Structure 1
């Protein structure tokens, strides 16, 4: 009976601390974490630590709306990713991670939304930062989440502001992420009330030439010999809207046949289509970009084929997308013209962005 009473008191104290905005430290012991087979707990450097070889782990029975999440990560010069997951709901979440092997490079820290268990960092190049990490000892990562924005700190220095959290989820689980082995310690979080901040000028007009709605199919495993335009006409399509920029993050709407294994995924494809009306026979400029690969059809005829995948143009090639990267002059016929884009992807961001003018 005494043990039960003590447990209840401890739980109530824990919940009261959260409600009052106190900093809560989550000990690195298995009973506090939803873990995978890739997780071990070890005493190291006079600390209790969690070693995560790959994947994600979450804190048991804890969610956060707004507040601060912090963790220490042991210095690592071998290629790896180590970070914090937050507002996790099933296979959708926000994620910020350090790439300590890329110290002092422009993409040393990255933010990505995770949709259907797929990372999308290629689509959001504005959310990365140049950071110099400690070569020995511990590097601290802190995220201050406030409504639909966040600020990122490394070793107590602000390195990045995320103006818009892409999943738009308001709450969810918190935890850790690693790709390849990393050692974590001293995980803590503080729930806080949202703070009203001065809004940035949002009066920048959106280019009316940008395509903001697409009709898209479900995903299928890509086999070149099975791609026939006639089959596109038999598919069922759903209407989806892009982000304000015109970017279509495809994984937000479509689940792949295989996901979460980065470049080890099978290659999937969807077909995205849009209608263009012309008052007469005329030529219009179609500007676009994509990830990873694409085939563009105009009125049933293939007019472009390209590959923008990670590292396809060199070991340092990131495959980020920019709406002005590719340009086609399309010979439109009077009346309705149909553009179909076969967009293929393995990993790191399945996306499409386009405008016609």
Structure 2
């Protein structure tokens, strides 16, 4: 009896200590806790004390949030805008990002998760199951937002739902402690109130998480990526400009299992340096033709052994007013390989929304492929 009693007491004490260790922290909207950038005004709106935020973000000074729960209330307007929040901020160019598209409420992209690398978003790569979904929420009224995150998994709750509105199977950035931000980059007003967060490595999660799928057969995973340059340098000839090739430097980059090679992971884009080459070597045991399935964002020039084979444009709205420029295996190039070593170079240029390629050669009979 004594043993049972002592065990019960120990369990109670451990539970009590655990609950204290993961206590919720409520944070007021003042400069002692936040860094402000943009138009921030304290005010009471529809009975709740908070802030009105336009054209900017506020960043929590605490830089130790890795796993746990983030909660707040916000208002949304039906005008085209993208308010949301970031977490695990390493700096303002590198963080995990979640945002809402109020003008798309009820549609499959009403909420969106993307990783931010080197200041570049990537929603054209990450869409559909695990990244965006259909949700509804009220306009010009308070709605509750809750994120639960543990290592590479996260789930988002909208309103009073007890089931996650969005399940993120695989966060794309390495899990590291960082800051939290609330964001509204548009002139449309968004209100925030009742911000609180809990740091714990064991938050309760109810989402049905799927393991990351293995690469499809033939997926090209290992590439070299060049330093950046101006896309205009490619507009003079059907050959790779030798002067440009001679000055490039190269880094290895491995694609995700989906085949997505997200260039922003290692390169920072600017207006006059919006292009890189990705390259690999294909060794063929005989002269033969192989089909290269290709997805890209935004524009590519495909070169085999220095000569231009194909140029494609898939940027946002490039085909019609509804065209999003999302990436998939929608294009193909047939590679006329010679016996021996062949150099495949793909120049990829970017405006916004995702910088990189997705590629595979289903039939690799007689080939050896290396970066």
- Shorter-normalised TM-score: what interval? 0.7 to 0.9
Contact 1:232/1:271 (<8 A) preserved:
no
**CA distance change for structure 1 residues 267 and 184 in 2, over 3 Å: closer, same or farther?**
farther
Q: 1:63 to 1:40 in 2, by over 3 A?
A: farther
In structure 2, C-alpha distance between the alignment counterparts of 1:116 and 1:38, rounded to whole Å:
24
Q: Which residue is equivalent to 1:262?
A: none
Query: Unaligned 5+ residue runs, structure 2?
Result: 1-16, 364-371
Q: Residues 283-322 of structure 1 correspond to what in structure 2 (within 5 A)?
A: 283-322=289-328
Counterpart CA distance in 2 for 1:333 and 1:107 is: 45
1:9-48 equivalences in 2 (<5 Å): 20-48=21-49
Structure 1 equivalent of residue 80 of structure 2: 79
Partner of 2:103: 101
User: Alpha-carbon deviation of 1:173?
Assistant: 0.6
Q: Residue deviations 1:14-56, cap 9 Å, x none?
A: xx99962122221123332111133333332232322332333
**Segment of structure 1 superposing worse, 116-125 or 29-38:** 29-38
Residues 267 and 105 (structure 1), Cα distance of their counterparts in 2 relative to 1, 3 Å cut? farther
The equivalent of 2:202 in structure 1 is 194
The structure that is strand-richer by fraction is 1
Corresponding residue for residue 231 of structure 2? 222
Question: Counterpart of 2:113?
Answer: 111
Q: Is the 8 A contact 1:18 1:191 kept in 2?
A: no
Q: 3-state SS of the aligned residue for 2:264?
A: helix
What is the alpha-carbon root mean square deviation over aligned residues?
Answer: 2.4
Cα distance 1:29–1:136, how it changes in 2: closer, same or farther (>3 A)? Answer: same
Indicate which of 168, 174, 184 corresponds to 1:178: 184
TM-superposed CA distance for 1:170, in Å, is 2.5
Asked if 1:343 corresponds to 2:352, the answer is no
Displacement after TM superposition at 1:289 (Å) = 0.6
State the shift of 1:86 in Å. 0.4
1:233 aligns with 2:256: no
Say whether the 8 Å CA contact 1:104–1:130 is kept in structure 2.
yes
1:243 Cα offset (Å): 1.2
Partners in 1 of 2:280 and 2:244 — Cα distance? 13
Q: Provide the residue aligned with 2:336 in structure 1.
A: 331
Q: Secondary structure at the match of 1:233?
A: helix
Q: Give the structure-1-normalised TM-score.
A: 0.87
User: Residues of 2 paired with 1:183 and 1:267: CA distance?
Assistant: 37
The normalised TM-score by structure 2 is 0.83
Gaps of 5+ in 1: 1-15, 259-265
CA distance in 2 between partners of 1:113 and 1:76 (Å): 24
User: What is the DSSP-based 3-state SS (H/G/I as helix, E as strand, rest coil) of the residue aligned with 1:69?
Assistant: strand
Larger Rg: 2
CA distance in 2, matches of 1:29, 1:195: 27
Alpha-carbon separation, structure 2, partners of 1:199 and 1:253: 32
**What SS class does the counterpart of residue 35 from structure 1 fall into?**
strand
SS state at 1:223 partner = helix
Quote the Cα distance in structure 2 between the aligned partners of 1:222 and 1:123: 21
